[in-house]
């Protein structure tokens, strides 16, 4: 690849302190070209849809992505203060001499308007991203770890199915213990509270009903740890707990 091609693949077209019409044109071009666009400046924001919100004047960073999403970030917080999900239609226009960026979607009907009192910078980036994220340490990893070595749960445990359906939803691992008693296993990748115990209880109850069988069904919660209240609920409901992390500890 030549240096020229190399630069073209990720060029930045940037305007500093542009006039409103300049800024509007650059944003509109970027939307048209499928670029990733950033606008920094003093603005107000209005949102209306699943909820409603207004945000008075302040300096914010606005990002428009080619997939139709838009993010408004202030100087604090990991989360955007306002946003729209992918699939929205974006427009840049002049509103009484000021840059306004609008995003809309339907189902549900939602609208986001960002009006700039002043634009400090506008950039448009052409993006070339081939790679996908590879992640580990998930609930799926925990499941694989157990299926590779079922006796991590207890001696004689035998998995029979994963994602086994019940009328209350799917059981993560369905199996038998050494005495051929049915075991429903609920997996959580990290420390769990009472909600997970409730989930496991519903599965055990549903199995009990579905199987039309008087035999005891065991419910086993597998996670790195549980909260105190979750442990109380486990005992009260006759459910069990095994401590296990998604990946072997060092």
Partner DNA sequence: ATCTTGATGTCGAAA
Partner DNA sequence: TTTCGACGTCAAGAT
Residues 25-84 within binding reach of a copy of itself (CB under 8 A): 36, 38, 40-42, 44, 50-61, 63, 65-67, 69, 71, 73-78, 81-84
172 binds, among DNA, a copy of itself, none (CB under 5 to 8 A by kind): DNA
User: Any idea which residue has 């949102």 for tokens?
Assistant: 47
Residue whose C-alpha is closest to residue 246's, from 140, 159, 172, 166 = 140
Q: How far is the CB of 70 from a copy of itself (least distance, A)?
A: 9
244 within 8 A of 146, measured Cβ to Cβ = yes
Q: Is residue 241 part of the contact set for DNA (CB under 7 A)?
A: no
Cβ proximity to DNA, 49 vs 150, nearer residue? 49
Q: How far is the CB of 167 from a copy of itself (least distance, A)?
A: 8
Separation of alpha carbons 243 and 222, rounded Å: 6
- Counting residues that bind a copy of itself (by CB under 8 A) gives 74
User: Any idea which residue has 């139709």 for tokens?
Assistant: 68
Q: Which of 16, 169, 213, 236 contacts DNA by CB under 7 A?
A: 169
Separation of alpha carbons 154 and 158, rounded Å: 9
Which three-class secondary structure state does DSSP give residue 5? Answer: helix
Q: Is residue 179 part of the contact set for a copy of itself (CB under 8 A)?
A: no
Q: Which of 1, 4, 6, 180 contacts a copy of itself by CB under 8 A?
A: 6
Q: How far is the CB of 173 from a copy of itself (least distance, A)?
A: 20
110 binds, among DNA, a copy of itself, none (CB under 5 to 8 A by kind): DNA
Strands 218-223 and 182-187: parallel
Q: Is residue 105 part of the contact set for a copy of itself (CB under 8 A)?
A: no
What tokens appear for 35 in the block? 């670029």
What tokens appear for 179 in the block? 């005495």
User: Any idea which residue has 């009472």 for tokens?
Assistant: 194
234-243 long-range Cβ contacts below 8 angstroms, 24+ apart:
234/197, 237/197, 237/201, 239/197, 239/200, 239/201, 239/204, 242/152, 242/153, 242/154
* Binding residues among 65-124 for DNA as defined by CB under 7 A: 69, 77-79, 82-86, 107, 110, 112
Cβ neighbour number for residue 157 with a 10 Å cutoff: 20
Q: Is residue 238 part of the contact set for a copy of itself (CB under 8 A)?
A: no
Q: Is residue 236 part of the contact set for DNA (CB under 7 A)?
A: no
Cβ proximity to a copy of itself, 12 vs 160, nearer residue? 12
The footprint of DNA (CB under 7 A) covers 47, 49-51, 53, 69, 77-79, 82-86, 107, 110, 112, 133, 135, 137-140, 165, 168-170, 172, 186-191, 193-195, 199, 227-230
């Amino acid at each position: 690849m030549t240096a020229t091609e190399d630069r073209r693949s990720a060029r930045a077209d940037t305007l500093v302190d542009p006039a409103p019409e300049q800024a509007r044109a650059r944003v509109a071009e970027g939307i048209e070209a499928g670029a990733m666009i950033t606008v920094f400046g003093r603005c107000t924001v209005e949102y209306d849809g699943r909820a409603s919100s207004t945000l008075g004047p302040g300096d914010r960073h606005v990002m428009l992505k080619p997939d139709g999403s838009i993010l408004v970030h202030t100087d604090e917080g990991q989360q955007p203060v306002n946003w729209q999900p992918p699939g929205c239609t974006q427009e840049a226009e002049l509103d009484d001499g000021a840059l306004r960026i609008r995003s809309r979607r339907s189902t549900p009907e939602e609208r986001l308007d960002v009006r700039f009192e002043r634009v400090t910078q506008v950039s448009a980036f052409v993006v070339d991203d081939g790679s996908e994220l590879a992640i580990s340490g998930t609930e799926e990893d925990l499941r694989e770890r157990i299926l590779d070595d079922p006796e991590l749960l207890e001696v004689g445990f035998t998995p029979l199915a994963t994602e086994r359906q019940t009328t209350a939803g799917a059981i993560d691992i369905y199996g038998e213990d050494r005495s051929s008693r049915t075991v429903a296993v609920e997996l959580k990748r990290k420390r769990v509270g009472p909600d997970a115990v409730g989930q496991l209880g519903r599965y055990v109850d549903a199995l009990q009903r579905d199987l039309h069988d008087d035999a005891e069904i065991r419910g086993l919660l597998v996670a790195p740890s549980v909260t105190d209240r979750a442990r109380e609920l486990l005992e009260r409901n006759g459910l069990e707990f095994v401590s296990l992390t998604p990946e072997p500890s060092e």
